[in-house]
Amino acid sequence: MPSELDKLISLSFDEDPEVRKRAAKELGKYPDIGALLALLELSRDKDPEVARIARETADQLKETLKNQEEMQEISSIIAQLQQKNVQEGEEGGEEEIKVLEDVLEKSQLAEEKKQIIKEKVQTKEERHSFIDMLKNILPTTPSTPAEAATQEKEELSDEDTNLILKELEQLEKEYKIYEKAMVFNDIKPTFLRLLYDALYIHRGNEKAVEKEFKLIKKFVDKELDLLYEAFKRYHLKKGVVDISKIKDKMRGIDTGDLIIKRIEVKEIKHGRKKLKLAMIYVEDFEGKEGVIYVDSERAKFLTPGMKIKVKNGIGKTFKSTGETVIYIGKISSIVMEA
């Protein structure tokens, strides 16, 4: 059963301009990425009145989406990459990066993309391609981390994120649409229609079309990589403890994926008893290091290179050495990942 939003999106493609006009007004009531994409398509409508209403409604909806929270959290994560990689890149890289920043500033993932893209400096030819196209479809966000900090946190719900991923994951399949170019006007307008138009302006020039298509494919691949990296870095970190910030007596420690670097077994005297503890040296996906202490019997199946997670661990600081570790007690566990 299609939702009300799905019905409105369908109506935005109706032949009657009055129907499209009403759909544009109603779409503004849904703080959803799908609604925004539909409005951006309508802003290019051949009917001037429909296009005007769609643009005004899209601007209002973009302001609503700015008040969501998760995007600001993603931005702070990706901003850490900038501190680490801002000095890297080829000569003149900063100038080339600025070429694309004006476009990226209009993206919901602007901050994340800007910082990650500094790690992989592109050529000027790549950066100048699609500039006009992107300006028509990417919503506006703050251009710098400082500006972003002055606004409320942005949020991208799991549902919205899934919609974006689903849209992008269909790119390869949707390219088959272009095999039917003779009947292209019967196809509903999509993000890929804009790419098609980028090729269409070179019609009749086979070499130019081939060159533009290669740039399109390269651009889409890089956009997918940027989105995936931002998504992965946020969702791997969400709800887990930073292993480099463990404190004494901290309880209920859950971690993300950790890679075992090495394992040492240490014998400790406790009164008259001798305990054998396994010291597991681990590293998270950001390269941060930590140590896990667990009874050696519970660690006998663990080996270096294995991926694990900690559930319900306990923070422990040893007074003799000042070292803080994650201790696996009776109610704690180590989960082996595939």
Per residue in 207-232, pLDDT (tens digit) is 888 888 888 788 778 877 777 777 66
What is the DSSP pairing of strand 289-295 with strand 324-327?
Answer: parallel
Domain hosting 311: range is 243-336
Q: Are residues 127 and 98 in the same domain?
A: yes
162, 47: one domain: no
Rounded Cα distance between 55 and 314, Å, is 53
Average pLDDT over residues 159-170: 54
Which has more pLDDT, 195 or 72? 195
Residues 283 and 261: beta-carbon distance below 8 Å: yes
Interior/surface letters 39-58, b for 16+ CB within 10 angstroms, e for the rest: bbbbbbbeeeebbebbbebb
* 312-321 mean pLDDT: 83
List the CATH number of the domain containing 45.
1.25.10.10
The structure's pTM equals 0.34
Query: Residue 272 is which amino acid?
Result: R
The total number of structural domains that make up the chain: 3
Structural domain ending residue among the three candidates 205, 237, 269? 237
Are residues 14 and 128 located together in one domain of the fold? no
Q: Are residues 148 and 220 in the same domain?
A: yes
For 270-288, the pLDDT digits (tens) are: 667 777 889 999 998 888 9
Final residue before a domain boundary, out of 215, 237, 259: 237
Q: What are the distances in angstroms from CA 133 to CA 32, 128, 299?
A: 22, 11, 55
DSSP labels, 251-318: -SB----EEEEEEEEEEEEETTEEEEEEEEEEEETTS-EEEEEEEGGGGTT--TT-EEEEESBEEEE-
Query: How high is the mean pLDDT of the chain?
Result: 69
- The length of the chain is 338
Domain boundary among 188, 218, 237: 237
Q: If you average pLDDT over residues 98-102, what whole number do you get?
A: 41
Do both 224 and 281 map to the same domain? no
If asked whether residues 184 and 316 sit together in one domain, one would say: no
Task: Identify whether residues 83 and 220 lie together within a single domain.
Answer: yes
Claim to verify: residue 187 and residue 283 sit in the same structural domain: no
Rounded CA separation 310/324 (Å): 15
Backbone angles phi, psi at 164, to 5 degrees: -65, -50
Write out pLDDT tens, residues 21-70.
988 888 888 877 778 888 888 888 888 899 899 889 888 887 776 655 54
275: domain CATH number is 2.40.50.140
CA-angle at 274, arms to 271 and 279, nearest 5°? 120
Q: Which of 75-79, 116-120, 240-244 has the lowest mean pLDDT?
A: 116-120
b (16+ CB within 10 A) / e for 115-144: bbbbeebbeeebbebbeebbeebbbebbbe
Position 154 pLDDT exceeds 80: no
Q: 214 and 263, same structural domain?
A: no
Same domain membership, residue 273 and residue 318: yes
Q: State the Cα–Cα distance between residues 191 and 210, nearest whole angstrom.
A: 20
Of the chain, the percentage scoring pLDDT greater than 90 comes to 10
Determine contact, residues 22/11, Cβ cutoff 8 Å. yes
Specify whether 188 is located in the same domain as 227. yes
What was the pLDDT predicted at 32? 79
One domain for residues 58 and 182: no
